[in-house]
Amino acid sequence: MSEINTFEAAQSGRPTGPLVRGYEVIIGFETHAQLSTASKIFSRASTAFGAEPNTQACAVDLALPGTLPVMNKGAVERAIRLGLALGSHIAPRSVFARKNYFYPDLPKGYQISQFEIPVVQGGSVSFFLGDEEKTVRLVRAHLEEDAGKSLHEDFIGQSGIDLNRAGTPLLEIVTEPDMRSTAEAVAYARELHKIVTWIGICDGNMQEGSFRCDANVSVRRPGAPLGTRREIKNLNSFKFMQQAIDYEIRWQIEEIEEGRQIQQATVLFDPDTGETRAMRTKEDAADYRYFPDPDLPPLAIAAEWIERVRAGMPELPRAMAERYVQQHGLSEYDATQLTQSPALASYFDAAVDAGAAPKLASNWITGEIARRLNQQDIAITDAPVTAAQLGKLIQRISDDTISNNAARTVFDALWTGESQDVDAVIEAKGLKQMSDSGALETIIDAVLATNQKNIDEYRAGKDKAFNALVGQVMKASQGKANPAQVNALLKAKLG
Ligand code: ADP
Ligand code: MG
């Protein structure tokens, strides 16, 4: 394609990936992120999802005679945001081109896209795959409009065309063929998904098609030139993505092993059979007769505009995770978990602001809370326990008012809506730890008076006997004694 699209590094410099039956897997992604503007990329028609068919396509979207496209600034700004987030070059001047093809859902006969000079050039996405940091280089990201949709109504044996989606703004994000396994490809897609939603340029709704990936897959013997690729279109769930790429790798290796050659093709994944199926042989650029769109001037982006957008960028997840490690002493792993979404990170921040020790807040959020959210399939923003309540609860653990065990009871009462107030639950359920050493000493004395055997064994050097005594005291206090305090007092008394 263009001169920036060189794959030299795929041939050299990159370590060989894990082999599958002696073959190296090569994957490159093209992702369509639907930009979250209220109106279309070149018209004022609405982009809202789910409207009655053909109620949201206007004359401009259909390129009726006499209409002219007008660039939506919001779409350009979103492209700039992505470029800034991924360390790309933002072209001061990029060009819209017409990609000509015939299809029922494209009544214009062409799609407005960018070809030779895209708005976003280069950059990379970095993420962890297990303990290993991976970097996938981007070739480019270009602005384009979406087409309409063909709806096949099997029950009446007819197909209909819904043009509502025509003209919806897309950013197509293209990587170098840098990925070396299915797991790496899915991790890349997850990271990209996280970034586009984090910086607010795409709602990330995969079911509605707001984020769809095309996976280009080929295999080769290590050291051989790149193999012929097949492109799996429109993967709209991470689960299908994994199944489709895995199947495709197995299929290609099988073909080669049986002496056949891979033909470049566009394939579809069928979730029902778990197989990929060739849809058409792949066209190349020449088939599309690209030419600069005469209706649109080149897109000029001034340096000041880029700086304004930069000033409004949020802290990115990787930077935020790094800060959590530095500032709160969290592990890399926990910090990454907490920065899965802005909502989760805000929840953590708010709990810490409410007085929670950061490490404990992190444990509760990535443990108990994540488990319950998962179980009930709800988002952190709908968690029945607020960050302020969690902060208060953790404070009560830290100041020794309650034990960890008692905290679980309080948490459950908050989660199930039994009460809204941490202190009220502690009071009502009598969960306060016994921290009055006078009362504790009374219990300890009583336990010591009736457990001479354990005392003798302890003095004879048996640690187990000491633990048994602690257990007796805890039991006598109905679990309310502070274990650390019991330990200290017992040790002192036993000399
Ligand atoms: P096209 O213009 O035909 O879509 P591109 O050259 O733009 O082709 O490449 C499209 C995608 O395919 C890119 O993500 C690229 O990384 C990937 N790709 C190219 N060659 C291979 C290959 N041999 N194996 C796997 N992926 C590849
Ligand atoms: Mg392409």
- Ligand number, closest to the Cα atom of 174: 1
Ligand 2 centroid vs 214 CA: distance in angstroms? 9
- Ligand number, closest to the Cα atom of 32: 2
- Ligand number, closest to the Cα atom of 217: 1
DSSP state, residue 306: H
Cα–Cα distance, 174 to 138 (Å, whole number): 6
- Asked if residue 12 has pLDDT above 50, the reply is no
Q: Is the CB of 129 under 6 A from ligand 1?
A: no
Cα–Cα distance, 392 to 351 (Å, whole number): 8
**Domains in the chain, please, with CATH?**
6-305 (no CATH), 315-429 (no CATH), 437-494 (1.10.10.410)
Q: Is the CB of 216 under 6 A from ligand 1?
A: yes
Q: DSSP readout, 188-242?
A: HHHHHHHHHHHTTS----TTTTSEEEEEEEEEE-TTSPPPPPEEEEEE-SHHHHH
Task: Give the pLDDT confidence of 281-294 residue by residue, as tens digits.
Answer: 767 777 899 999 99
Q: Per-residue confidence at 433, pLDDT binned at 50, 70, 90? A: confident
The mean pLDDT of 90-94, rounded to a whole number, is 98
Q: DSSP readout, 47-87?
A: --TTPPTTSS--TTTTT-TT------HHHHHHHHHHHHHTT
The mean pLDDT of 141-163, rounded to a whole number, is 91
Structure token pair of residue 132: 């290993």
Q: With b meaning 16 or more CB within 10 Å and e meaning fewer, what string describes 219-235?
A: bbeeeeeebebbbbbeb
Please say whether the beta carbons of 35 and 201 come within 8 A. yes
Task: Give the pLDDT confidence of 97-139 residue by residue, as tens digits.
Answer: 999 999 999 989 999 999 999 999 999 999 989 889 999 999 9
- Ligand number, closest to the Cα atom of 142: 2
Q: Is the CB of 28 under 6 A from ligand 1?
A: yes
- Asked if residue 81 has pLDDT above 60, the reply is yes
Closest C-alpha to ligand 1, atom 11: 28
Structure token pair of residue 69: 């496209």
Q: Per-residue confidence at 483, pLDDT binned at 50, 70, 90? A: confident
Q: Is the CB of 26 under 6 A from ligand 1?
A: yes
Residue-level pLDDT at 430: 87
Structure token pair of residue 36: 């979250």
Residues of the chain with pLDDT > 70, as a percent, come to: 97
Cα–Cα distance, 444 to 453 (Å, whole number): 15
Residue-level pLDDT at 3: 38
Ligand 1, from 32, 99, 174, 192: best to mutate by most atoms within 8 Å of Cβ?
174
Q: Which of 243-257, 299-313, 427-441, 446-460 has the lowest mean pLDDT?
A: 427-441
Residue-level pLDDT at 13: 56
- Asked if residue 326 has pLDDT above 90, the reply is yes
The mean pLDDT of 16-25, rounded to a whole number, is 93
Q: Per-residue confidence at 182, pLDDT binned at 50, 70, 90? A: very high
pTM: 0.86
- Asked if residue 279 has pLDDT above 70, the reply is yes
Residue-level pLDDT at 246: 98
Cα–Cα distance, 211 to 35 (Å, whole number): 9
The mean pLDDT of 260-277, rounded to a whole number, is 94
Closest C-alpha to ligand 1, atom 19: 177
Task: Give the pLDDT confidence of 333-376 residue by residue, as tens digits.
Answer: 999 999 999 999 999 999 999 999 999 999 999 999 999 999 99
The mean pLDDT of 23-31, rounded to a whole number, is 98
Mean pLDDT of the chain: 93
Ligand 2 centroid vs 132 CA: distance in angstroms? 29
Residue partners of 6: CB distance under 8 A and separation at least 6: none
* More confident of the two residues 459 and 77: 77
Ligand 1, from 11, 25, 29, 30: best to mutate by most atoms within 8 Å of Cβ?
30
Residue-level pLDDT at 282: 67
Ligand 1 centroid vs 443 CA: distance in angstroms? 74
Cα–Cα distance, 261 to 269 (Å, whole number): 20
